[in-house]
Amino acid sequence: MPGPRQQITAGAGRLTRAGAGRPGRGRWPRRGQLSRFAGRPAAASTAVALAAGLAIGGCGGGGGSRNTAAGLCSPGHLSSDPARPAAAGGTAGAARLSPTATSPGRPSLASGWALPGADLANTRDTASPITSANVSRLGVAWTAPINRAAGYATTPVVVHGVVYTQDLLSNVMAISLATGRVLWTHAYNSRNGGPDGVNVASGVVYAATSHAAVALSAATGRQLWSRRLTRNDHEGIDMAPGYHDGTVFVSTVPDNPVLGQYLGDAKAVLWALNAATGAPEWSWDEVQDLWGRPGINSGGGQWYAPSFDAQGNIYLGVANPGPVTGHAGYPWATSRPGPDLYTDSVVKLSPRGRLLWYYQLTPHDVHDWDLQDPPVLTMANGRPVVIDGGKAGILIELNAQTGQLIWRLPVGDHNGHDADGLLSEHAQPSTHIPLPATECAEPGGYGGIMSPLASNGTTIFAALNNLPMQYLKDSGTTVSGGIKRLVTALAQAPGEMVAVNQDTGQLEWADRLPSTPYGAATVTNNVVFTTTYSGYLYAFSAATGAVLLKRTLSAGSNSPLTVDGDYVIVGAAAPHTAAQTSLIIAYRLGAAGKLPDTVAPAPPGGPAPG
């Protein structure tokens, strides 16, 4: 491991010592990467998306990993951060510390789920009648079918009693919240890397295909405009658009599921488009000149809609650089020397796209550790803060005004590779690099915090995936046994839900789960929800982590859920067997409907039940 590194933080130009093992860096910009006009895992490979039903944007390298049980990658001694309590026996709710209070009367609490992250701050917290006292009364109200071949990975939004959502073929749907009847579908049949999704404002649905931003009539689904944003066929789009004050925000990503991901000259550019016409207003280049070798390198992009503060400033979580580990002749990412800005960073832009500050969590990333989750804008110790986390499995809290690091907390399983990128950051291809030709790192490219955080104003909640991955120095990730082995590994990997105090950065409770919670964290009142890849809906006590509810779904799940009024809307579209059914499932307090089928205890080698 490298010795102590100097961390540059945004605050009066000072340099502050960050200490050993903290590679994160932040600073005021020297200049913005702004282009004005006159007038983004990658996903799991398409094969995995289709075979496993897993399509989570930004996963690079076209390969995967395993947990120890699957035997694909041996992570050696798994060490948790000292702040993290050891959970007992893999039982949900087994590890808890001090209780967490919910936020009393949080001023900006959303009254429904009209935005991709519930509100402009992406807190995933909403007012509802659902509490710990009545959550067990949730029953099936209705179901709507999802194209099994398409897949599904997004958070629905609900506006004026209509559920708007999108599948992974970019097809947009409008569904009645009261009945589950599909009102209209606009088919694009354009495969994207996911998680995708929609945003609705002023009677218009904003979405994207694999290559273009689009606007549709919310009433009829008729297309109003389309704007191509990709420069070449190595690029794609896989996010829900952001919307603020008449402007739509969409980023390109280095992912075309048809051709591959992190191919050369695939850039991430954030576009600000006029909401009425789709005309570009400005753009911000997230990866500059691709660090000198655009024919090989790629990187950046968003998976989710940005966050916005009261002044209209824009907060982004930026994905990883590529090639993930290296390229022929360029081991351990020596084709892209340096920190590879602005990948794996939280970035704050002005309303017109000027770079205000950035904080880079993983300089010179060699493990596919996107900082892809949308930054959460909230309060801590009476001041505005930004909290984020991604596939590196590290939560960070930053001063919203300056970008200065306040606290940093590794969560989930780590096995000592958190700062590997620093060992080759300034190396040349011929330089001796103190890394092996092959290594097993945890978290891996499908591990860490894969899906969005939630905050109730005092506590940040994160869904974790504990899954290592094997990395090759010059050709990305690998799985012995191919797609079949990867599918088994994903199905058997365990996870956790954790709660962290926003004021102190201290872990308050952690619940071990037998399956990975790709369903993110969602909070309402004193209840936290998630779903697992094996096909279960969970509800936890926000105060203690106690499991309040566990319901079987119709199939596995890898999509965040929505809470709107007394409804909880869940995507179950990662089927593990032919008998499982891909559905959007609406639960409602007091409803008593039945699913056509539910997931059953797993056969040998199948997904863990839970």
What confidence tens digit (pLDDT) does each residue in 407-423 have?
999 999 999 999 999 99
Q: Is 295 helix (H, G, I), strand (E, B) or coil?
A: coil
Distance in angstroms (rounded) separating the CA atoms of residues 303 and 454: 16
pTM, two decimal places: 0.88
**13 pLDDT tier (thresholds 50, 70, 90):** very low
CA distances from 208 to 43, 263, 272, 338, 379 (A): 16, 21, 14, 33, 32
What is the token pair recorded at 497? 């839900």
Output the CA angle 351-355-358, nearest 5 degrees: 120
pLDDT confidence bin for 584, thresholds 50/70/90: very high
pLDDT at 322 over 50: yes
Reported confidence tier of residue 8, pLDDT bands at 50, 70, 90: very low
pLDDT for residue 482 is more than 60? yes
Give 434: exposed, middle or buried? Use CB within 10 Å, 0-12, 13-18, 19+.
exposed
pLDDT(48) > 90: no
Tokens of 14: 């000072």
Which DSSP helix (H) or strand (E) runs through 46?
helix 46-52
Distances (CA, A) of 484 to 29, 37, 479, 481, 606: 45, 48, 9, 7, 11
What pLDDT, on a 0 to 100 scale, did the predictor assign at position 294?
96
**487 φψ region: left (φ > 0), alpha (ψ -120 to 50), beta (else):** alpha
| Residue 5 reports pLDDT greater than 90 | no
**Does residue 178 surpass a pLDDT of 90?**
yes
Cα separation of the two ends of the chain: 36
pLDDT at 489: 86
Say what percent of the chain tops pLDDT 70.
81
Domains of the chain: 43-62+91-589 (2.140.10.10)
pLDDT in tens, 60-94: 333 333 334 344 576 764 444 433 333 322 333 33
DSSP 467-497: --EEEETTTEEE-TTHHHHHHHHHHH--EEE
Across the chain, mean pLDDT equals: 85
Q: Which residues pair with 95 in a beta bridge?
A: 510
Percentage of the chain modeled with pLDDT above 90: 75
Question: Residue 307, Cβ neighbours under 10 Å: how many?
Answer: 26
Q: What is the C-alpha separation between 412 and 321, in angstroms, rounded?
A: 23
Of the pLDDT bands very low, low, confident and very high (cuts 50, 70, 90), residue 59 is very low
Q: Which of 51-55, 131-135, 520-524 has the weakest average pLDDT? A: 51-55
CA distances from 423 to 93, 145, 420, 436, 555 (A): 38, 49, 6, 11, 42
Confidence tier at 483 by pLDDT (50, 70, 90): confident
Predicted local distance difference test score (pLDDT) of residue 487: 82
pLDDT surpasses 80 at 600: no
Q: For position 84, what pLDDT does the model report?
A: 39
Mean pLDDT of 278-282: 98
Residue 563: closest CA among 204, 152, 156, 182: 156
- Confidence category of residue 95, pLDDT binned at 50, 70, 90: very low
Name which residue leads in pLDDT, 74 or 175: 175
Distance between CA atoms of residues 540 and 283, nearest Å: 41
Would the pLDDT of 55 be above 60?
A: no
Both tokens of 70, joined, read 């699957």
Give Cβ neighbours of residue 82 (< 8 Å, ≥ 6 apart).
none
Q: Tell me: the pLDDT tens digits for 423-453? A: 999 999 999 999 999 999 999 999 999 999 9
* Residue 400: band (very low, low, confident or very high) from pLDDT cuts 50, 70, 90: very high
pLDDT of residue 72: 57
8 Å CB contact between 370 and 390:
yes
* E strand spans, 325-427: 345-349, 355-360, 376-380, 383-388, 394-399, 405-410, 413-414
CA 571 – CA 582 distance, rounded (Å): 8
**Nearest CA to 491 among 88, 31, 67?**
67
- d(CA 477, CA 48) in angstroms, rounded, equals 14
Question: Which among 589, 562, 584, 586 is positioned nearest to 572, based on CA atoms?
Answer: 584
201-237 per-position pLDDT tens digit: 999 999 999 999 999 999 999 999 999 999 999 999 9
Lowest mean pLDDT among 177-191, 387-401, 591-605: 591-605
- Please, are residues 534 and 609 in contact by the beta-carbon 8 Å criterion? yes
